[in-house]
Structure formats: structure tokens, C-alpha cells
Amino acid sequence: MTEPNGSPEDVIKVRRGLFGPPGSGDTSGYGRLVAEVALPAETPRPYGGYFDELVDTLTAGLQRNGIEFDDAVEKVVVYRGELTLYVRRAQLPAVAQLLRDDPALRFELSLGVSGVHYPGDVDRELHAVYPLRSITHSRRVRLEVTAPDADPHIPSLFAIYPTTDWHERETYDFFGIIFDGHPSLTRIEMPDDWHGHPQRKDYPLGGIPVEYKGAHIPPPDQRRAYK
């Protein structure tokens, strides 16, 4: 499969219906929709712009540290004009440290971390995404790291980019990704005794009962289904 701009994509799931699972009583007319869930596939060289130079510099720096590029980076993706390096989680600190400290790279600023949950991406369902910015060279790169639901551990980048402190806590809170080495990995928005991680795609659909002008509106998972 290819994306509209010609970039290849990897289909990880085929989703059927829009508003509910089969047998939900959905009468909206959307029950027969079929949609593919796809992620960008690896991009072949040349990447274009400064992307080739960045990858070459990173490769040389890793080799100086005794690390082969393919042992640290799963794939390089150029998608809609942006560069993403899919980094193997064990090598995330080494890659981030080099991107920050190498004079030819100098990605001094981490803009945080975002979590994503792809239940169809088997054995790599949880993704953590770090956008980095080089103020020195006016460049951007994105690091993406995956972990399975069964082992949701990713090394923390707090020691390299202290600005990720609360972002990693929020990603842990909402997605359950455990950032090993974080100095205080506790919930940041949900109560301490909250069960589960609300932004995972498999989190139970819930809500709060609402009363409006005498009408009682139950949470979505408590509403009746049409037969």
C-alpha cells in the first residue's frame, strides 16, 4: 500500500465499521465501512534535504562508540517531509546522547514525548515519540520507540533531556509506558489509585452520567443497543 504522496505504508490492521463493533446494534449506516490502519514503511535512499547528511553523521558517530547503525535504528522513515528514526529501545539513550552532543548534529532541545497505542501492531503495540529540535542547525528529527503490551518498558531520556520529566510522567499515566530510570514516575493527571491507562485503545469505553433538563444520559457503554 502507498500513501497519497507515494510513500509506502505497512498495514497493521483492517478495521470494519465506524461507531461500534459487530453486533452493537449500530443503525447509522457506517457498519459496513472497511478501513486499513497503516504505518509508514521504511524509506529507501536518497531521503532528500539534510536527512541523508543527518543519518550519515549519526551512523559515523555510533560506529565510533562501537554501535552499528542497524543495531540501533530499526528503520528510517521520511513521511510528509519529516524524518523519523525508529530506534531500538535498548539503544535509545545512546542515540539521543549522540544527537544532542555531536557538533554536527546538536539537537539540543527535546519537545517532549507522546504515547501512541496500536493494538494491531503485534508485539510493538506501544509507541513513544520524541520530537527533537536543533536550534544550532535549524533542523528537526523525530525518534520513535516501540514496546510490547506485555513488556511496556522504555529507557527514560530524563538524564539527557530533563524537559521530558513531566512528559514521560503523562505518557506513563495515560498509556502505561514505564520509563526506566525516571526519577519520579508517578501519575500526573489521573488519581494515584486509578486503574488502567485511559488513552489506550483497548481501555473500556466509559463516561459520566449527565442530567440535562430532566433527561438522564448514561455513559456510552451503558446505553442500549438497537436490535
Q: What is the pLDDT of residues 58-73, one digit of tens each?
A: 999 999 999 999 999 9
Q: Is the pTM of this model over 0.75?
A: yes
What is the per-residue pLDDT for 202? 84
User: What fold does the segment set 42-226 form as a domain?
Assistant: Beta Polymerase; domain 2 (3.30.460)
Q: Which residues contact 138 (CB under 8 A, 6 or more apart)?
A: none
109: phi then psi, degrees, rounded to nearest 5: -120, 125
pLDDT > 50? residue 4: no
- Going by C-alpha positions, the residue among 54, 131, 139, 137 that lies closest to residue 98 is 54
The kind and range of the H/E element at 139 are strand 139-147
29-43 pLDDT, tens per residue?
Answer: 566 678 888 888 999
In contact, 193 and 175? CB cutoff 8 Å:
no
What is the per-residue pLDDT for 19? 53
Q: Which residues contact 53 (CB under 8 A, 6 or more apart)?
A: none
Per-residue DSSP letter, 16? E
192-226 pLDDT, tens per residue?
Answer: 888 889 999 888 766 666 666 777 777 766 666 55
What are the cell numbers at 46? 536518497
Residue percentage of the chain with pLDDT more than 70:
81
Give ∠ CA 101-106-107 in degrees, rounded to 5.
105
Q: Which residue has the cell 521530558?
A: 164
What is the per-residue pLDDT for 194? 86
Domains of the chain by residue range = 1-39, 42-226
What are the cell numbers at 110? 527535546
